[in-house]
Amino acid sequence: MLSPCLHHALTILEGLDRIVLNSAYLSLSKPYFCGMQILDGKKAAQAIKDELRLDVAQLVAEGKKIPHLAAILVGANGASETYVAAKVKACEEVGFKSTLIRFEETISEGKLLDQINELNSDPDIDGILVQLPLPKHISDEEVINAIDPDKDVDGFHPVNVGKLLQGLPTFVPATPYGIMLLLKHYKIETKGKHAVVVGRSNIVGRPMSVLLSSNGNPGNCTVTICHSHTKNIKEFCLQADIIVAALGKPEFITADMVKEGAVVIDVGITRAEDTTKKSGFKLKGDVAYDEVSPKCAWITPVPGGVGPMTIAALMQNTYHSCLQKN
Ligand code: GUN
């Protein structure tokens, strides 16, 4: 059977009588949304990085300090290794300095805190990120609290979270910031829309809900946060103009949960075994893309959607941190 979109397109080509007949068919039967477009994070991130590269070249020309990001990676988690490598590579692309500091899984919390203090007092370092998750014997909270808020380019320190809540200038966590930049890049109208954020993590869901409800553009949404104790997630999602899926459950959002014409942002990035791939895995989003995408006005792919935007946003934060010192 032809997809409703293809059927509609063929009808247009076949002649006026058929168009009239088929429009009647389309309007009498379940309406299908035929204009799905991709929110291409790779492209948008490239545009942001290209601009940053020019900004850095300007700093160099003026003899000013160039941005320097320090990334700390503890242990050998495959996904974390990939993310940190991508962050270091992005620094190279835009002309930042970067320092990658690696520790064994067994490092003590005290030693890690000592390293953070050293970076805090190094005047050349503009941004510090400690890749999460950390081994169980190390407290995320202690580590995040130890980072100088003025170098906390992840925006996880309570001082920066508080500023975000109050709408003050601060470092915005990279994933939700990247999503806002993506919505802006594609000029997606958000004012007055109902956004449903699925997931309430400190890294994505909570800050995302704050940003989407803030008075700005993008922003000014009415926001619902759903989480593991929400009783009727499907009913909330069906009311959403914008869905941000950030719960970490592969293909959780299915077609029956999505309104025609919705904007769907997929933050999920789970590694699923795939023996046909050289890496041995494929990446799965939190959205069942094949069945959901035909209903959407806009949707992010996985990979190539939110991931590259997260890195571009981190670069933006590091650049702005450097500017404050210049
Ligand atoms: N782990 C998953 N996302 C992030 C992030 O944005 N920053 C850090 N530091 N760790 C993460």
- 265 — alpha (psi -120 to 50), left (phi > 0) or beta? beta
Centre of ligand 1 to C-alpha 89, Å, is 16
**In 3D, which of 184, 136, 134 has the Cα closest to residue 154?**
134
Centre of ligand 1 to C-alpha 174, Å, is 8
Choice from 72, 80, 81, 83 to test ligand 1 binding pocket (greatest atom count within 8 A of CB): 83
DSSP 285-317: -SB-HHHHGGGEEEE--SSSSHHHHHHHHHHHH
Establish whether residue 317 lines the binding site of ligand 1, counting it when its CB lies within 6 angstroms of any ligand atom.
no
Tell me the per-residue pLDDT of 29-60, one tens digit each, with 9 for 90 and over.
Answer: 455 566 899 999 999 999 999 999 999 999 99
Amino acid at 180: M
Tell me the per-residue pLDDT of 278-311, one tens digit each, with 9 for 90 and over.
Answer: 999 999 999 999 999 999 999 999 999 999 999 9
Establish whether residue 197 lines the binding site of ligand 1, counting it when its CB lies within 6 angstroms of any ligand atom.
no
What's the pLDDT score for residue 32? 57
Centre of ligand 1 to C-alpha 131, Å, is 5
| Active-site residue, 154 included | yes
Rounded to whole angstroms, what are the CA distances from 252 to 23, 179, 219, 230, 245?
33, 19, 25, 14, 8
Q: What is the distance between the terminal CA atoms of the chain, rounded to a whole angstrom?
A: 62
What's the pLDDT score for residue 33? 61
Establish whether residue 175 lines the binding site of ligand 1, counting it when its CB lies within 6 angstroms of any ligand atom.
yes
Q: Is the pTM of this model over 0.85?
A: yes
Which value, in Å, is the radius of gyration of the alpha carbons in the chain? 22
What's the pLDDT score for residue 176? 98
pLDDT means per 10 residues, the chain with 326 residues, are: 47 39 43 81 98 98 97 96 97 98 98 98 98 98 98 98 97 98 98 98 98 98 98 98 98 98 97 91 96 98 98 98 91
Rounded to whole angstroms, what are the CA distances from 138 to 104, 106, 149, 240?
12, 10, 20, 38
